[in-house]
Amino acid sequence: MPANTPSLPLRPLLLAAFILAAAASRLLPHAWNFTPVEAIALFGGAYFASRWAAFAVPLGALFLSDLFLGFHGLMPVVYACVAACVLLGFWLRDRVSVLRVGAAGLAGAVLFFAATNFAVWLTARDLGTHPACSIGLIECYTAALPFFRAQLLGTAVWSLLLFGGYALLQQRVPALRAARTVA
């Protein structure tokens, strides 16, 4: 390739490909809440040099998969939680370790569980599903516990695949070990 020909930046393209592939897995049959949603947000926040890309790629990938899965009234809460997980990913920047990824994944899953189920309770109480009191809120959270377990497992597995897979590639591809690229 001639010296003046610009090349596509390998790192940001690879990061985006990891995230898009993980988000596409939402279209495959899977257990309820066993998804890569928190993991892709953490991964994007941890590895994209550009803060804009760190938010845009995971949220965009989520949106693309939602085009196929459908939209619902709680989507603003879900997307806000994903954006918050990107912020948690910023905490991982240049300090990725199993313990830190696990802690960030747990924090993201707890945040997602607390926020989305509170939103479910707010909307469900109008339908008479859960009473509009603290007992109804506790019922709502209790009913969601099996989904939380699957969410924790999904976040753990997908974090292992994304962060672990990328770490393996970094060992084999010297260009990925270089300082953060502009992406």
Decide if 1 is inside a domain: no
Asked if residue 86 lies in contact with residue 54, where contact means CB atoms within 8 angstroms, the answer is yes
Whole-number pLDDT of residue 125: 58
Asked if residue 80 lies in contact with residue 55, where contact means CB atoms within 8 angstroms, the answer is no
- Domain carrying residue 36: 10-177
pTM exceeds 0.85 for this model: yes
Decide if 2 is inside a domain: no
Decide if 96 is inside a domain: yes
Could you read off the pLDDT of 33-48 as tens digits, one per residue? 899 999 999 999 999 9
Q: Taking the CB of residue 53, how many other CB atoms lie within 10 A of it?
A: 18
Q: Return d(Cα 144, Cα 139) in angstroms, integer.
A: 9
Whole-number pLDDT of residue 30: 82
Number of compact structural domains in the chain: 1
Tokens representing 84?
């918050």
Nearest CA among 179, 151, 131 for reference residue 26: 151
Decide if 54 is inside a domain: yes
**How would residue 10 be classed by pLDDT, with cut points 50, 70 and 90?**
confident
